[in-house]
Structure 1
Amino acid sequence: SKYILFKVHFSWVTCFTCPSTCLFYNTHSDIIILTITRCIAIVYIYFQFQNLRQLGSKYILGIAGLFTIFSSFVFSTVVIHFLDKELTGLNEALPFFLLLIDLSKACALAKYALSSNSQDEVRDNIARGMAVLGPTFTLDALVECLVIGVGTMSGVRQLEIMCCFGCMSVLANYFVFMTFFPACVSLVLEVRVNTHTPHRHAPEVIRPLPVPTTELQPTFRLGSMEEERESPRAERSQTPQPSLPTDPRPLEECLTILKNPEMGARFLSDDEVVVLVNSKHIPSYKLEAMMERPERGVSIRRHMISSKLPDTSALSSLPYLDYDYSKVMGTCCENVIGYMPIPVGVAGPLHLDGKQFQVPMATTEGCLVASTNRGCRAISLGGGASSRILADGMTRGPVIRCPSACLAAEVKGWLESTDGFQAIKDAFDHTSRSEVKLIVCLSRQGTEQALARLQEQYPELVVLAVSGNYCTDKKPAAINWIEGRGKSAVCEATIPAKVVKEVLKTSTEALVDVNINKNLVGSAMAGSIGGYNAHAANLVAAIYIACGQDPAQTVGSSNCITLMEASGPTGEDLYISCTMPSIELGTVGGGTILAPQQACLQMLGVQGASQECPGENARQLARVVCGTVLAGELSLMAALAAGHLVKSHMTHNRSKVNLQETIPGTCTKKSS
């Protein structure tokens, strides 16, 4: 059978020279060529597995590869059997079968799997690898089948059998690599990780920094359950991690690798990167940008900082994994060592201007969300609140110096003239409208353009600073309280007497009395600027943190005056209003580009810039802030009037302190 099978394969090249000695020559030539073919197949498979071992794992891919070859061979045999093909010569066809196996496909897919940092990423990266490599696998298998399949139409039976084996081998390899191999790799990696608990990763797959206290970090995501299964880092970790030496290499060799554009930082271990940072070859503030993944730069910085702290495990509870640092770099924060998860509650629905809003609030103050939620309920039962934007404009007050007072007066007169104002306005308007009108801080670029035009008119003047604190930004100032800055908003509502009594547990008379003596008289005696309210800053800060605003803007944005008076036919209904002249916020830029903060903005329907009317989303957010402040003011003032504030905090915060019953005061008597 061996002679019959390989006669066509080899002797059709040599037998035409001497037909009389064909049998003897073919028999020996078949043996020699078959032996050479087997040796080539063995060497070929050896080099294929050698390439797989370079990934850093000595066993995982070897086992997976052996299973793949075995399964492919068995599958080929079964398919040939069910197609009623002859199995004669299958032993001689084995070298041909081995030469058709391309383990580079397994290597490519394994690189995706081994670049993972968690079991969830193994699954995600294998799926991503199949999505990227699948079309190539399919095209290669199709072309090979077409080329080899030409022999099945030769009319020579032995050649048709060989080509049939070849086609079946290609199809078997394709089927196994597309189905069995990914599952096998995932299973082996999962078993490997589980046998190395409590470590996060198998040591052969990836070498983490030696900070064991940060290995098991909790992850915090905001979204649906399906979204939480997706790893943000899995989408960014497409570059496979090469095998790295255990001991750090010399500094010169590390520098060469770092400067090599084809290698870079991913070919350096974490310890080697630390050496480069300590030797000033890598600036510590550029770790995220110079690493192949920003998260690795954060991890290395944590390791360096932890070694300098009094307690090296101080950062163990500060999470840093599974965060998209690419949006943080150059926009939100520098020298990042993690992120701060803050509880986010929801108050609502807030019935405002005929719409329902679920208001996100990020806070660690107990009872704040619950109290605001009660205020929202009282507003809804009263028919809702109404709001208006009174003014919308941002200020930036630069400071300039003139050689003389006369020149300063001349500059002032030119700026107030029609021509001068128009010239400065035209220069300012050259900047992007989205920068000028939609961001919480006025674009410095616009101010610089205006100052440049002013210097063209008066070359003698000197610009000292683009901001002279006359704005005034992030500081309490009477000018913002009087003239306003950002969005000036007002919100009002009428609460029926029944709701005041049943929901707020007090009376209109008591609320009005407390508001006059606390929010108005008390604040005036304290010399407050814009602080004629109970706790507007609480609500502003909670919404700002949740929605990606600048928390420091709470200083000016919480300027608020709360007014209450009796209304209605019998004078038992409550009219309440909140006026906030300097709400500084925006929906574009800054922290609003971060995914969790964008989710909170989407809850309110104000994420990003408005397509219909530029700036409308920011104005709507300002109205929501003012309405939420009104709800918070209403509930807190009711608690104070009824004498429930301290008891509610002790109850809901689960304090173990036993307090005596609150001594009834004047307002408590009135509310009863």
Structure 2
Amino acid sequence: MPDVASSAVTPIPTRWVGPIRVSGDAVAGEHEVPLATYETPLWPSVGRGARVSRAVEGGIRVTVVDERMTRSVLLVAPDAAAAVSAARAVQGRLAELQALVASQSRFAWLLEIRDEVIGNLLYLRLAFTTGDASGHNMVTQAADLVLQDVLRAEPRLEYGSVSGNLCADKKVSAVNGLLGRGKNVVAELLVPGAVVERELRTSVRRLVDLNTRKNLVGGIAAGSLRTANAHYANVLLALYLATGQDAANIVEGSQGITWAEERGDDLYFSCTLPNLVVGTVGNGKNLPGVELALERLGCREDRAVGANARRLAALTAAAVLCGELSLLAAQTNPGELMAAHVRLERRAEVRA
């Protein structure tokens, strides 16, 4: 008899929301996105933001600023002077280490090495491109190669760890906010004031004020680390689950800044996400539901290496903007947020 507990499947309600109108180098056109969540009001909320995107020429403009996956190795030196000497030697051998990584992987490319010396400890933060994979295992394997080579070249160093936490993997950190981990993506939208009033039932001024007072000042008061947003994590988790991503990466993924400003009568609204860790190949992507979702998103096409993952990142950022804009609009009106939750969740219970 199979172990029922070990083979159980946890169902997560999933709905396709949109379409969202997007433009940019990574993706263009109108596309629905899958959201797997128990927080069912998320569907109509993102859907409202999607309606706004369709009311704007060009929709949400998405720019992929950068892409990299990181792993930091830890080495132990006899003293700080030896650690600094080794760090300089490693930097001088960057081209050699790039060739070493390329010889062992078709898709990993070593972009840069950043070093940090703390006492006699030497941390090397390695950044790689990883094609269409999110790249966790790929960069760990490449980091192992680099680590072994450095230990051979620098006999005074000792092994510390293949991951020294400067990556920083699945943790909120200043280093990821500054240098990025995964895809660094900006989604932005210019919404006419009339559309704000009609679709979001608020005004440009109230939205701008709320974003400043809540996300920026409130975030500072809370001690948020390079983070000023209302709920990036909600949309990220829903999309990550539906598309077979490592859901724990919403920890760094939810870092990001929402910015809003008045431009005449219009609203400029943007979401900057420096740490979107997503991939279209690798673990979890061959599950039937995930495979179908990626195909429907157009992320299984024959494109240049990395283009499908950039497409997924761009659609993810656009969905985050839709959810962020809708939630902030609701919070400008007293009682609207809770009333919507009660109405929508009770309706779902009746249908069940």
TM class by shorter-chain length?
0.7 to 0.9
Give the match for residue 654 of structure 1. Answer: 346
- Counterpart in 2 of 1:613? 304
Whether contact under 8 Å (1:350, 1:628) holds in the other structure is yes
Does residue 1:562 correspond to 2:258, yes or no? yes
Q: Counterpart in 2 of 1:382?
A: 56
Q: Does residue 1:409 correspond to 2:77, yes or no?
A: no
Runs of 5+ consecutive residues of structure 2 not aligned to the other structure: 109-129, 348-352
Q: Distance in 2 between matches of 1:467 and 1:626?
A: 28
Does the CA-based 8 Å contact 1:559-1:582 persist in structure 2?
A: yes
**2-side partners of 1:586 and 1:397: how far apart?**
20
Q: 1: CA distance between counterparts of 2:321 and 2:104?
A: 36
Match of 2:350 in 1: none
SS in 2 for 1:396: strand
- Name the structure, 1 or 2, with higher relative contact order (CA <8 Å, separation 6+): 2
- The aligned residue for residue 348 of structure 1 is 18
* Preserved CA contact (<8 Å) 1:534 1:633: yes
**1:461: Cα distance to partner?**
1.7
State the partner residue of 1:331.
none
Aligned equivalents of 2:260, 2:32: Cα separation in 1: 25
User: What is the CA distance between 1:443 and its match in structure 2?
Assistant: 2.6
Query: Cα distance 1:366–1:611, how it changes in 2: closer, same or farther (>3 A)?
Result: closer
State the distance in 2 between where 1:406 and 1:506 align.
60
Asked if the contact 1:439/1:588 (under 8 Å) is kept, the reply is: yes
* Deviation readout 1:190-217 (Å, 9 max, x if unpaired): xxxxxxxxxxxxxxxxxxxxxxxxxxxx
Q: Secondary structure at the match of 1:342?
A: coil
Structure 1 position 391, deviation (Å): 0.7
Question: By percentage of residues, which structure has more helix?
Answer: 1
Query: Structure 1 counterpart of 2:8, which letter?
Result: G
- Does the 8 Å CA contact 1:393/1:437 hold for their aligned counterparts? no
Report what 1:582 is aligned to.
275
Per the alignment, residue 9 of structure 2 pairs with 339
Long gaps (5+) in structure 1: 1-269, 271-299, 306-335, 656-672
- Equivalent AA in structure 2 for residue 461 of structure 1: L
Instruction: Tell me how far 1:575 sits from its aligned partner.
Output: 0.9
Residue 292 of structure 2 corresponds to residue 596 of structure 1: no
Deviation per CA, 1:261-297: give whole Å up to 9, x if none.
xxxxxxxxx4xxxxxxxxxxxxxxxxxxxxxxxxxxx
Deviation (angstroms), 1:346? 1.4
1:631 and 2:304 correspond: no
Secondary structure in 2 aligned to 1:443?
helix
Measure how far apart 1:438 and its partner are. 3.0
Residue in structure 2 matched with residue 53 of structure 1 by the alignment: none
1:561 and 1:449 mapped to 2: Cα distance? 36
- Picking from 484, 498, 501, the partner of 2:180 is 484
Counterpart of 1:439 in structure 2 is 133
3-state SS in 2 of match to 1:424: helix
By how many angstroms is 1:647 displaced?
0.8
**Alignment partner of 1:453: what SS?**
helix
TM-score, normalised on structure 2?
0.87
Q: Which amino acid aligns with 2:12?
A: I
Q: Which residue of 1 aligns with 2:101?
A: 428
- Which residue among 147, 158, 176 is the counterpart of 1:451? 147
Q: Does 1:539 find its partner at 2:219?
A: no
Give the equivalent residue in structure 2 for 1:362: 36
TM superposition shift of 1:481: 0.8
SS in 2 for 1:515: helix
Aligned to 1:596, the other structure's residue is in SS state helix
Q: 3-state DSSP class of the match of 1:474?
A: coil
CA RMSD of aligned residues (A): 1.6
Identity between Structure 1 and Structure 2 (%)? 36
2:220 aligns with: 524
1:463 is paired with a residue whose SS is strand
Aligned partner letter, 1:408: A
- How many Å apart are 1:498 and its aligned residue? 1.5
Cα distance in 1 for residues equivalent to 2:265 and 2:257: 22
Distance 1:520 1:530 in 2: 10
Partner-residue secondary structure (3-state), 2:94: helix
Q: 2:189 aligns with which of 490, 493, 508?
A: 493
CA contact under 8 A between 1:423 and 1:453: conserved in structure 2?
no
Structure richer in strand, relative to its length:
2
Structure 2 counterpart of 1:88: none
Match of 1:103 in 2: none
Q: What is the one-letter code of the residue matched to 1:394? A: M
Aligned residue for 2:72, secondary structure, equals coil
In 1, distance between residues paired with 2:312 and 2:254? 14
C-alpha contact (below 8 Å) 1:424/1:454 kept by paired residues:
no
Relative distance call for 1:645 and 1:554 in structure 2 (3 A) is same
CA positional deviation for 1:455:
1.9
Looking at structure 2, the residues matched to 433 and 530 of structure 1 have their Cα atoms a distance apart, in angstroms, of: 34
Asked if the contact 2:69/2:139 (under 8 Å) is kept, the reply is no
Rg comparison, structure with higher value: 1
How many angstroms apart in 2 are the aligned matches of 1:416 and 1:434?
22
Q: How far did 1:516 drift?
A: 0.6
Distance in structure 1 (CA, Å) of the matches to 2:322 and 2:247: 21
User: Shift in Å at residue 589 of structure 1?
Assistant: 0.6
| Native 8 Å contact 1:398 1:466 kept in 2 | yes
Using the alignment, how far apart are the partners of 1:509 and 1:404 within structure 2?
57
Deviation at 1:555, TM superposition (A): 0.3
Matched, 1:511 2:203: no
1:498-545 deviation per Cα after TM superposition (whole angstroms, max 9, x unaligned): 111111111111111111100110001101013301111101000000
| Pairwise CA distance, 1:340 | 1.2
Alpha-carbon distance between aligned partners in 1 of 2:99 and 2:158, rounded to the nearest angstrom: 21
Shift of 1:456: 2.1
| 2:73 match | 398
How many Å separate the matches in 2 of 1:647 and 1:623? 31
SS of residue paired to 1:448: helix
Shift in Å, 1:653: 1.2
The one-letter amino acid paired with 1:400 is L
SS at match of 1:593: coil
Per-residue deviation, 1:459: 2.5
Q: Distance in 1 between matches of 2:16 and 2:163?
A: 37
Retained in 2: the 8 A contact 1:447–1:466? yes
